[in-house]
Amino acid sequence: MVCVVLLVVSFGFLFFRAAQTHEMAAIRDKAQLVAELLNQNTDTNYEVINSGDTRITIISADGRALSDSHIGADLSVNRSDRTEFIQAVNYGSGEAIRASATLGADTFYYAIRLDNGNVLRLSRTLYSLGEVFTSTIPIFAIITIVILAVAYFIAYRLTRIIIKPLTEIDFDNSTSSESLYEELWPYMKKIDHQKAEIASQFATLRNRAETIDAIIANMREGLVMLDEKGLVLAVNKSVLDIFGISAKHDVVGQNIGYIYHDSDFMQGVKQCLGGAFFEMNFSRNNKFYNAFLSPGTLGRAVSEANDQPASGGAIVFILDTTEQHKADLQRKEFTANVSHELKTPLTTISALSEMMANGMAKADDVAGFSQKISDHTKRLMNIIDDIIRLSEFDESKVEKNFVKFDIYELAKTVIATLQDKAEEKSVSVELTGQPLQIEANNRLLDELIFNLLDNGIKYNKDGGNVTIDISYENDKCKISVTDTGIGIASQHQSRVFERFYRADASRSKKTGGTGLGLSIVKHIAEHHNGNVILESTEGVGTKVVCYIAI
Ligand code: ADP
């Protein structure tokens, strides 16, 4: 458009100049012609008549108009001061251009001195610049439209041709870029390189995300992520298990109260959404949990990225503390039991020794008292030995000390040590099975068999019997001790492995039991990668089976 306008203006101007020059030359020629005609004519009684666009005036030597072709021209005006007149009088011809007051255009005057001294003047209004432009505008408008149309068409075609290879670039196949402009090859290479880099970074990120997902999904601890309104954003399977919720989509998008509606917990959530940490214990379905609520850094990270004010949110972490809770309870019970177990014999020892020291004991009683003191001391020693053994197991201080030996032979020797006790109760002890070489801690297995046989004898009926069977089953050594004794009521069966737990406290004490024997048995079995199974029917008998890895 700018080019077209510039062209129109410059051509218009040139055209205007050319037209003016041409017009002036024509007037000069015409004036020469008329002057020649007039010079040939001696009649000076002129009367010029209207001769088209050109005005003809004949002026006398003193400047008066003798005749004028312009109708209504004022002949009385003296023209002796006009430039063209002065030049014509002095030099034979003269010319001038003056702005015409009426038309607002320039008028060209050309004067020639005639032979008789008069001056012939021709004048004509020249084309004005405005006129030139107005007359050429329609043509230029048409030209402009044509140029624009052609330019549009050519530009459209050219652009399509230039762009075609670009639109056909196959970014997945970099070799296709070879048909492309050479100038773009480096960019294609760069894109290829970046694509590979993005793909590898994406794979790394996906891997990382999958790893985190897998960790969250598989962790035993419960994890809930909340938005700033307390609505569930994400939840893992453990939470669903803890709260007995069947499907994840039931909870996502719900208020946290849908998962666990507890006033303390809800208060904690509120506190946490306000930016404070919160911790609480709760129990559900006989299990104990610790819930940790932390203000959500997730929301904060997102909002920082968006340059928005921190939005909050919370992370709830739920830890199963049932085992810890049980252990705490057991420890408390154990401490209470230990004190009780130690105090009873000590009280007796103290009372008897005081009586003897004060001379309150009769001479005949001294032997009996001393025996009692000795018995209680032995009992104390037994309890303390057992406690030490158990604490060693607790602290994993027991050394393996595995050696190869025949467990069948070991059982035989243990039976021999208990023979007297068995006979006292008229209980027969029998060994079945076959010799079996195992690699284990023989001192501990001696203790295990001793404890089981001892219980079988202690808690037996007069004339009953105990059988110990040694066999090989599923790559393990199986030691089963079966008795025909009093049995254990079902409600006690799961607890007899607890420390100091006794199904029948008075009987156990009478028989010298510490309540720690089966606990030690269980630890010894576990020390050998094994386990213990107890089956018992009250009044019928008990069977304890130990599996030991060999
Ligand atoms: P204790 O030293 O009292 O025998 P244990 O730990 O060996 O302690 O046994 C725990 C309790 O289990 C015993 O007090 C007893 O009530 C019961 N018990 C263990 N073995 C037998 C058995 N063979 N028959 C009946 N009751 C048994």
* Residue ID of nearest Cα to ligand 1 atom 11: 502
* Residue ID of nearest Cα to ligand 1 atom 19: 455
Of the chain, the end-to-end C-alpha distance in Å amounts to 101
What are the pLDDT digits (tens) for 397-428? 888 889 999 999 999 999 999 999 999 999 99
> Angle CA(329)–CA(332)–CA(336) in degrees, nearest 5?
140
Q: Which two tokens stand for residue 432?
A: 């079945």
The binding-site residues of ligand 1, defined as CB within 6 angstroms of any ligand atom, are 451, 455-456, 459, 483, 485-488, 496, 501-504, 508, 513-519, 542
* Residue ID of nearest Cα to ligand 1 atom 14: 502
226-235, 293-302, 384-393: which range is least confident on average? 293-302
* Residue ID of nearest Cα to ligand 1 atom 7: 517
* Contact present, 542 and 535 (Cβ < 8 Å): yes
* Residue ID of nearest Cα to ligand 1 atom 2: 513
Which ligand 1 atom minimizes the distance to the CA of 456?
A: 23
Q: Is the pLDDT of residue 132 over 90?
A: no
Query: Whole-number mean pLDDT of the chain?
Result: 88
Instruction: For residue 55, give the nearest of 30, 89, 20 by alpha carbon.
Output: 30
Distance 202 CA to ligand 1 centre (A): 63
Q: What is the pTM of this model?
A: 0.52
Q: What are the φ and ψ backbone dihedral angles of 119, each rounded to 5 degrees?
A: -120, 130
Percent of the chain with pLDDT over 90: 52
What was the pLDDT predicted at 300?
Answer: 46
Distance 533 CA to ligand 1 centre (A): 14
* Mean pLDDT along residues 87-102: 88
What was the pLDDT predicted at 544?
Answer: 97
What was the pLDDT predicted at 405?
Answer: 96
* Residue ID of nearest Cα to ligand 1 atom 8: 515
* Residue ID of nearest Cα to ligand 1 atom 17: 503
What was the pLDDT predicted at 302?
Answer: 46
Q: Is the pLDDT of residue 158 over 50?
A: yes
Distance 428 CA to ligand 1 centre (A): 19
Band (304; pLDDT cuts 50, 70, 90)? very low
Most confident of 58-67, 162-171, 498-507: 58-67
What was the pLDDT predicted at 298?
Answer: 54
What was the pLDDT predicted at 154?
Answer: 95
| Three-state DSSP class for residue 474 | coil
Band (102; pLDDT cuts 50, 70, 90)? low
Distance 96 CA to ligand 1 centre (A): 148
* Residue ID of nearest Cα to ligand 1 atom 23: 456
What was the pLDDT predicted at 176?
Answer: 63
Distance 373 CA to ligand 1 centre (A): 25
DSSP 388: H
* Mean pLDDT along residues 65-74: 83
* Mean pLDDT along residues 281-288: 92
| Three-state DSSP class for residue 250 | helix
> d(Cα 299, Cα 342) in Å, to the nearest integer?
58
What was the pLDDT predicted at 101?
Answer: 64
What was the pLDDT predicted at 210?
Answer: 92
105-119, 242-256, 449-463, 474-488: which range is least confident on average? 242-256
In sequence order, the 6+-apart residues with CB closer than 8 A to the CB of 204 are: none
Distance 449 CA to ligand 1 centre (A): 14
> d(Cα 454, Cα 483) in Å, to the nearest integer?
11
Note the residue count of the chain.
550
What was the pLDDT predicted at 309?
Answer: 43
Which ligand 1 atom minimizes the distance to the CA of 505?
A: 14
Q: Is the pLDDT of residue 180 over 80?
A: no
In sequence order, the 6+-apart residues with CB closer than 8 A to the CB of 253 are: 231, 232
